[in-house]
Structure 1
Amino acid sequence: MNLYRRLVIASLLLTLVVVVFGAYVRLADAGLGCPDWPGCYGKLTPTQAAEQIHEAYSADPYGPVSMRKAWKEMIHRYLASGLGFMIILITALAWRHRRQAGAAPVAAGLLLGVVIFQGMLGMWTVTLLLKPAIVTAHLIGGMTVLGLLAWLSMRALSVPRAEVSPGVVLLSWLAFAALAVQIALGGWVSTNYAALACTDFPTCHGSWWPEADYSNAFHIVRELGMTAEGELLSHEALTAIHWMHRVGALTAGGLLFALAWVLSRRQATQGLGIALLAAVVLQVLIGVANIIFSLPLWLAAAHNAGAALLVVVMVCISSRLGLAASPADAGQRLSGLGRVDQPQAR
C-alpha cells in the first residue's frame, strides 16, 4: 500500500502540471504545433520531424506550426503519457490491495476509463482542428482526472470524516456543482478566445447587461470562430460567452464563499474553510487581473491553475464531509444550517 499511496499522490501532482501546462500550450497557440497524433509528423520528437516543421513554418510563419510550438505540444503529450502509465499502475495496485483499507478499486477503474477517454479527446483536439466542444471537453476531462486523484489521495491517506449537518452537505453539493459549471464556462471562454471580449470591469462595454448573441455563442457543434451556419462568430457572441462566465463567477463565488464561512466557524473544519476562502479569493483576483492587464500568458495559465486548486480543495472538503449523502436528504434539514453549525464551545 505504501507504493500505492506514493503513486496516487505523485500522480495528483503530475496532473496539476499537465492541466496547467496544457492550458499554457493552448493559450500559446501551440495546440496544433504537431498537426498529427500521437507523434509529430509521424516521428517521436520534433527534432526528428525538423524538415517537415521547417517546410510548414516557411509556408506560413504566422501559422500554428514552428519548432518551438511543436516542442510545447509534444512535451505536453509526453507528460500526459507518463501520467497515463502511472494511472494504469494505480488501478492494478488498487485491485491487488482491494481488501485493504484505503484502496478504492472501483474508483481507480473509473479513473482509468476517464484517462482513456481523455486520451481520445486529446487526439480529436488535434485531428478535428481545435473544435471548441472537443477542447472544452478535454479541459473538463483533465479536471475530472484531477478530482478523482484527489479523492483517491484522501482515501489512501485515510483522512477521517468530519461530522456536519445535512445543510452543510447540501451547500457543499451546490458549491461543487456551481464550480463545475463555472470551469466549463471558463473552458468555453478560453477555447473560443473570448477572454478579452469585455475589456472593462466590472461592467462590459460600460453596461451591466451588454448586447450579446447567446444563441450562436453557446451552439456546441461548430468550427472554431464560426457559427453553426459557417459564418464568422460575431463580437456579440464572444461578449455573450465572456459575460456568462462573469455571471457564473458571481454565482459560484457566492456559494463557495458561503461554504468557506460555514466551514471556518467549526473547529473540525476550520482549516478547510480557510483554505477554500484563500483559493476563491486568489482565483477572483487572478480573473480580474487578466482583464485589467489584457490577458498576459502567464496570468492566463495561472487562472487555470487556480481552477485546478479549487477542484482539489473542494474534493478534500467533499471527502472530509462524506458527501455520500444525497442532496435530497440534506435538503430535509437545510433549515438547521445556522442552528447546528454554531462554533463549538471552548
Structure 2
Amino acid sequence: MSTASPDSRSPSPRTDSLYTLLVFLSLVLVLVVVILSAYLRLAGSGLGCAEWPACYALIKSPAGGTESLAAAHLVPAWATVIHRLAASTLGAMVLGITLMALRRKRQPGHNTGLSLAVLGLTVFLSVLGYKTPSPLLPWVTLSNLLGGMAMLAMLWWLGQRSVSPVVGDARAPALRPWARIGVFMVFVQIALGGWVSANFAALACASLPGCGNFPWLDGPWRESLNLFRVLPVTDGGVIITGDVVKLIHMIHRLGAVVTFLYIGWLGWRGLRLGGRCRGTGTAMLVFLLLQLLLGAAAVVFGLPLAMVTAHNAVAALLLLSTVNLMHLVTPRA
C-alpha cells in the first residue's frame, strides 16, 4: 500500500491564514491612507482655513521655484506623520503579500497577476509622491487618488476571494456584467470628484443645483477635460480658476446623478437576489444615499472640512460594496 506524499510547493493552512491576514491588514492601511490623503489634500487647499473662503486655492512659490501648499493652511502634523507611517508600513506588507501570492499561484481562483498589480501600483504611487508633489499639476493629485482607490478595490477582491465562497443563486451570474459596469461607474465618479479637488473647483458652484446662467455651450470644454493642464497662478500665489472650474464642477454633479440612478438600481437588484447579496445590496444603497446627502450638505454648509473628508471616505466604502457585489456574482475560475 502506498501513500502519496504532500506537495511541498502547496501552501500550508497556516500560510493561507497569514496571507489573508496580511491582505486585510493592508486593506485597512490603504483605507487609512486614502482618508488621510483626502484630509491633507483638502486642508492644504484651504478648506477650513481661518479666512475662508479668501484663503481657498492659495499657494506660495518658494525661491527654489517649486510650489507648495501655503503655510497659512494649518495642516496638522499628526495627520502627516500617521499618513507617512501607514504608507511605509503598507509598502512592506504589500511586498509580503506578493511573495506569498507567488507560492499560491496554483491554487484555484487565485489571481497572482492582481497581487503583482498591487505591488506595481504601490511602487508607482511612492515614486509619484516623491518626485512630483506640485499642487499645480492636477494629474498628480488625480493619480494619487485613483491609485489609492484602485489598491483598495484590488485588495478587497483578493481578500474576499481567499476566504469567501461565491453566492449559490442561479440568477447571480446574470448580474455580473451589470456589477462590472457599476464598479466602473463608481470609479469614474470618484475620478470626477478628484478632478474637482485637483483643480480647486470646490467653490465654482456654491449653490444647488447648478451654476446660474453659465454659457455651457460656449464654455472651455477642451481645457476642462485636459488631464495634463497646468494650473495658472497669480503673482500673489492664488490659483486662477476662471470658467474652466465651473464646467469641471458641473460634470461631477451630472456624473453624480447618473451614478446615483445606476448604483441605486444595482443595489436594489442585489438586495432582491437575497442571501449574501442582500447585505451587500443594502450596504450599497445606504452608502449611496449617505454620499448624496454629504455632497449636498457640503455645498449648503459651505464645504466644512470634516464633511468633505467624510464624502471622500464614503466614496471608498461605496466602491468596496460594489466590488463585493461583483465578487459574489462571479464564480471562481
Q: One fold, TM greater than 0.5? A: yes
Which residue of 9, 27, 31 corresponds with 1:12? 27
Identity of matched residues, %? 37
Query: 1:196 matched to which residue of 2?
Result: 203
CA contact (8 A) 1:114 1:145 kept: yes
Give CA-to-partner distance per residue, 1:91-124, whole Å, 9 cap, x none.
Answer: 1122233344575433211211111111122223
CA contact (8 A) 1:151 1:315 kept: yes
Which residue of 84, 109, 114 corresponds with 2:116? 109
Query: How far is the alpha carbon of 1:232 from its aligned partner?
Result: 6.7
CA contact (8 A) 1:211 1:236 kept: no
Query: How far is the alpha carbon of 1:169 from its aligned partner?
Result: 2.3
CA distance, structure 2, for counterparts of residue 307 and residue 244 of structure 1:
17
Which residue of 48, 73, 76 corresponds with 2:80? 73
CA contact (8 A) 2:45 2:200 kept: no
Which residue of 285, 305, 308 corresponds with 2:293? 285
Amino acid in structure 2 at the alignment position of 1:139:
L
Which residue of 124, 139, 150 corresponds with 1:144? 150
CA distance, structure 1, for counterparts of residue 75 and residue 274 of structure 2:
51
CA distance, structure 1, for counterparts of residue 147 and residue 325 of structure 2:
21
Query: 1:161 matched to which residue of 2?
Result: 167
Q: 1:165 to 1:221 in 2, by over 3 A?
A: same
Which residue of 257, 260, 271 corresponds with 1:250? 257
Q: 1:175 to 1:266 in 2, by over 3 A?
A: same
1:322-337 pair list within 5 angstroms: 322=330
Query: 2:225 matched to which residue of 1?
Result: 218
SS at match of 1:28: helix
2:28 aligned with 1:22: no
Q: Which runs of 5+ in 1 are unaligned?
A: 32-54, 57-61, 326-346
CA distance, structure 1, for counterparts of residue 120 and residue 160 of structure 2:
20
TM-score for the superposition, normalised by structure 2: 0.79
Q: 1:225 to 1:294 in 2, by over 3 A?
A: farther
Amino acid in structure 1 at the alignment position of 2:267:
A
Amino acid in structure 1 at the alignment position of 2:22:
L
2:149 aligned with 1:134: no
Query: How far is the alpha carbon of 1:208 from its aligned partner?
Result: 11
Mean Cα deviation higher: 315-324 or 238-247: 315-324
CA distance, structure 1, for counterparts of residue 267 and residue 284 of structure 2:
6
Query: 2:55 matched to which residue of 1?
Result: none
Amino acid in structure 2 at the alignment position of 1:318:
M
Which residue of 93, 97, 100 corresponds with 1:93? 100
Q: 1:90 to 1:196 in 2, by over 3 A?
A: same
CA contact (8 A) 1:30 1:64 kept: no
Give CA-to-partner distance per residue, 1:234-254, whole Å, 9 cap, x none.
Answer: 431111010000011111111
2:308 aligned with 1:300: yes
Give CA-to-partner distance per residue, 1:315-339, whole Å, 9 cap, x none.
Answer: 11111111899xxxxxxxxxxxxxx
CA distance, structure 1, for counterparts of residue 270 and residue 190 of structure 2:
23
Amino acid in structure 1 at the alignment position of 2:32:
V
Amino acid in structure 2 at the alignment position of 1:273:
G
Query: 2:6 matched to which residue of 1?
Result: none
CA distance, structure 2, for counterparts of residue 83 and residue 289 of structure 1:
33
CA distance, structure 1, for counterparts of residue 282 and residue 152 of structure 2:
21
CA distance, structure 1, for counterparts of residue 154 and residue 97 of structure 2:
12
Cα RMSD between the aligned structures?
Answer: 3.0
TM-score for the superposition, normalised by structure 1: 0.76
SS at match of 2:230: coil
Mean Cα deviation higher: 86-95 or 64-73: 64-73
CA contact (8 A) 1:124 1:134 kept: no
CA contact (8 A) 1:189 1:195 kept: yes
CA contact (8 A) 2:224 2:247 kept: yes
Give the count of matched residue pairs.
293
SS at match of 2:44: coil
Amino acid in structure 2 at the alignment position of 1:294:
G
Q: 1:198 to 1:211 in 2, by over 3 A?
A: farther
Query: How far is the alpha carbon of 1:216 from its aligned partner?
Result: 2.1
Query: How far is the alpha carbon of 1:7 from its aligned partner?
Result: 1.1
CA distance, structure 2, for counterparts of residue 106 and residue 311 of structure 1:
21
